[in-house]
């Protein structure tokens, strides 16, 4: 047995040496095609909705170096961004942080849910800051963008809202805990195909999507269905399997529960699949887009917010 082990060890060494001796340096070609315009835009119906907005950036080459200057140059400025609904067209003005007074930056930060002091680049966005558009479920919203001799278009319909019937906290699976709780939600899903997404906020610190934030209703269509809803965790944070997805007793948790359309669902579903399937042996999945003339998402959603104190 010992001799057999030594034999396999030498066989492995010989194989590695053989492959190393045959290696040739490979330098992939750098694509010279023009970079795409990337669209991230949303129109939201419901109480206290986020204003309709569109973020325009450029795609980056695989070999790009990232820094504040590169990110600043990635924003697409001076575009004409229009949203049409019921025959009425609204133009979204461009807003850049560097153009705002300090008090205006605070207002914009509150509306968009970010800390203005943490943004080190001149963040630019096309936004209906004063809510001239009043999004409604069941209506279709057409997006038209004119920039750099290009025209980008997309269309989305805001779906009817499906509420969460109840939310409750309970002991998580496994050993009892004095400080952690699992959130359980109940939904009465209607007998039509629906797509859902959620984000969580803890103690007012900003909304974070769940690790798998989207789902369809394939397995519970038309049924009353109870399910666990994990706390959103930053993807660049430290992973702790003992606390992952659980809520701390005494915290105030807010759930943003969204009903989205199919194209919106496919975008987030493929994006999140790629985010958790990385590495040299992972499979590649093309991220779905509904933008004609570019890439990205123009998504309609109905949303409501549920705030609860995490109880014992």
126 phi/psi in degrees, rounded to 5? -100, 120
Convert the pLDDT of each residue in 196-216 to its tens digit: 999 999 999 889 999 899 999
Residues 146 and 228 in one domain: no
Q: Beta-carbon neighbour count of residue 191 at 10 Å?
A: 9
- Residue-level pLDDT at 96: 87
Residues 254 and 124 in one domain: no
CATH number assigned to the domain comprising residue 252: 2.60.40
Tell me whether residue 79 is in a domain. yes
Residues 44 and 79 in one domain: yes
Distance from chain centroid for Cα 195:
15
> Is residue 11's pLDDT more than 70?
no
Q: Which domain holds residue 96?
A: 37-157
- Residue-level pLDDT at 116: 59
Residues 172 and 305 in one domain: yes
Bridge partners for 301 per DSSP: 44, 260
Residues 43 and 127 in one domain: yes
Tell me whether residue 188 is in a domain. yes
Tell me whether residue 291 is in a domain. no
> Is residue 10's pLDDT more than 80?
no
Among 127, 157, 187, the domain boundary falls at 157
Q: What percentage of the chain has pLDDT greater than the value 70?
A: 76
Residues 152 and 213 in one domain: no
- Residue-level pLDDT at 283: 57
The residue that leads in pLDDT, 130 or 26, is 130
Convert the pLDDT of each residue in 117-133 to its tens digit: 656 667 889 999 889 99
Which segments within 158-228 are labelled E, that is strand?
164-170, 180-188, 195-202, 207-216, 224-228
- To 5 degrees, how large is the angle CA 113–CA 115–CA 116? 115
Residues 190 and 230 in one domain: yes
Residues 76 and 110 in one domain: yes
Tell me whether residue 244 is in a domain. yes
Among 142, 157, 172, the domain boundary falls at 157
- Residue-level pLDDT at 276: 60
Sign, CA dihedral 269-272-277-279, equals positive
- Residue-level pLDDT at 242: 85
Residues 108 and 131 in one domain: yes
Distance between CA atoms of residues 121 and 43, nearest Å: 25
> Is residue 99's pLDDT more than 60?
yes
Residues 197 and 149 in one domain: no
Tell me whether residue 146 is in a domain. yes
Residues 193 and 162 sit within 8 Å (Cβ to Cβ): no
Residues 256 and 272 in one domain: yes
Q: Which of 105-119, 182-196, 227-241 has the lowest mean pLDDT?
A: 105-119
Q: Work out the average pLDDT over 51-78.
A: 72
Tell me whether residue 170 is in a domain. yes
Q: How confident is the model at residue 239 (pLDDT cuts 50, 70, 90)?
A: confident
* Mean pLDDT value across the chain: 83
> Is residue 249's pLDDT more than 90?
yes
Residues 60 and 113 in one domain: yes
- Residue-level pLDDT at 52: 96
HSE-up (13 A, CA, CB side) for residue 178: 0
Residues 147 and 78 sit within 8 Å (Cβ to Cβ): yes
Among 133, 157, 181, the domain boundary falls at 157
- Residue-level pLDDT at 119: 61
The residue that leads in pLDDT, 129 or 80, is 80
Tell me whether residue 22 is in a domain. no
Total domains, the chain: 2
């Amino acid at each position: 047995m010992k001799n057999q082990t030594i034999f396999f060890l030498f066989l492995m060494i010989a194989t590695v040496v053989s492959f190393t001796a045959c290696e040739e340096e490979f330098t992939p070609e750098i694509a010279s095609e023009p970079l795409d315009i990337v669209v991230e835009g949303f129109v939201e119906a419901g109480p206290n909705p986020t204003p309709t907005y569109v973020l325009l950036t450029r795609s980056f080459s695989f070999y790009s170096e990232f820094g504040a200057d590169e990110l600043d140059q990635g924003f697409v400025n001076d575009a004409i961004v229009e949203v049409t609904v019921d025959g009425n067209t609204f133009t979204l003005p461009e807003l850049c942080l560097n153009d705002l007074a300090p008090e205006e930056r605070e207002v914009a930060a509150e509306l968009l849910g970010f800390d203005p002091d943490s943004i080190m680049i001149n963040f630019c966005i096309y936004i209906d800051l004063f809510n001239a558009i009043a999004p409604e479920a069941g209506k279709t919203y057409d997006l038209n963008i004119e920039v750099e001799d290009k025209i980008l278009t997309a269309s989305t319909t805001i779906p009817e809202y499906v509420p969460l019937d109840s939310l409750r906290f309970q002991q998580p699976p496994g050993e009892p805990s004095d400080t952690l709780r699992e959130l359980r939600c109940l939904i009465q899903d209607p007998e039509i195909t629906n797509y859902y997404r959620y984000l969580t906020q803890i103690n007012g610190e900003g909304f974070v999507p769940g690790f798998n934030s989207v789902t369809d209703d394939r397995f519970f269509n038309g049924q009353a269905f109870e399910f666990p809803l994990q706390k959103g965790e930053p993807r660049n944070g430290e992973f702790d399997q003992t606390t992952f997805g659980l809520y701390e007793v005494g915290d105030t948790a807010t759930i943003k529960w969204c009903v989205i359309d199919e194209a919106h669902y496919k975008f987030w579903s493929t994006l999140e699949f790629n985010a958790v399937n990385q590495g040299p042996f992972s499979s590649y999945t093309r991220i779905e887009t509904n933008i004609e003339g570019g890439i990205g998402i123009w998504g309609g959603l109905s949303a409501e917010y549920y705030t609860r104190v995490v109880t014992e």
